[in-house]
Structure 1
């Protein structure tokens, strides 16, 4: 059983949040479920992601680096997949924080990109393959 069951994210405008998250979550193979005051994406065996509107509209955006949310990283199977998801996010209105590249400070295999929306929600798409057994 996974330790994490679901992750809830508050957005200022639910319709805008759906428009930004849905292309990414669909590209990752998640199914969408709509409710009256929220939307969620789920995939068998994975953590469910839920968006809800802010109880206090206009109370954002979150500022990266302050106490609270930092970012959510999606692990993917290849560098090409990092680049594809980065492009999907940009097309959905996310802003590039860091374009896809290797992050040597983590290790020489860590390839990632970072995007952020106008609510201050930051996502990472990352590929970190295991070390080659022969190395």
Structure 2
């Protein structure tokens, strides 16, 4: 699968603060930060990398895996507190599968950020 995803953001400080808060419930944290931007990871293997750009970033759909439904709910709350716009409250998405439990928000640059749990309810 992916090793890392890299994309530019229009406001580095705002995006850094947003992603750190919104993705903390699934264990994402800073791995490194420097002149080229910031790298976040939950497992030290796959990472999300952000950098400042003057270009208008294209909208992305980024989906992150949660271990349980509580993490999906915590992500949604944290993302809204960090300034995201709701794009789908936590819940089952039976049109995807019987166990697809996800929440969606729109982040600072208009990206659709999702956290999904593929496990049955605890």
TM-score (norm 2): 0.85
Counterpart residue number, 1:111: 101
Between Structure 1 and Structure 2, whose CA radius of gyration is higher?
1
Distance in 1, matches of 2:102 and 2:89, equals 8
Distance in 2, matches of 1:47 and 1:80, equals 22
SS at match of 2:67: coil
Larger RCO, structure (CA 8 Å, separation 6 or more): 2
Flag the structure with higher strand content: 2
> 5+ residue gaps in structure 2?
none
Counterpart residue number, 1:30: 28
TM-score (norm 1): 0.78
Question: Aligned residue pairs: how many?
Answer: 119
Counterpart residue number, 1:17: 15
Output the aligned Cα RMSD.
Answer: 1.8
Structural mapping, 1:1-135, within 5 Å: 3-32=1-30, 33-56=32-55, 59-60=56-57, 62-63=58-59, 69=60, 71-129=61-119
> 5+ residue gaps in structure 1?
64-68, 131-135
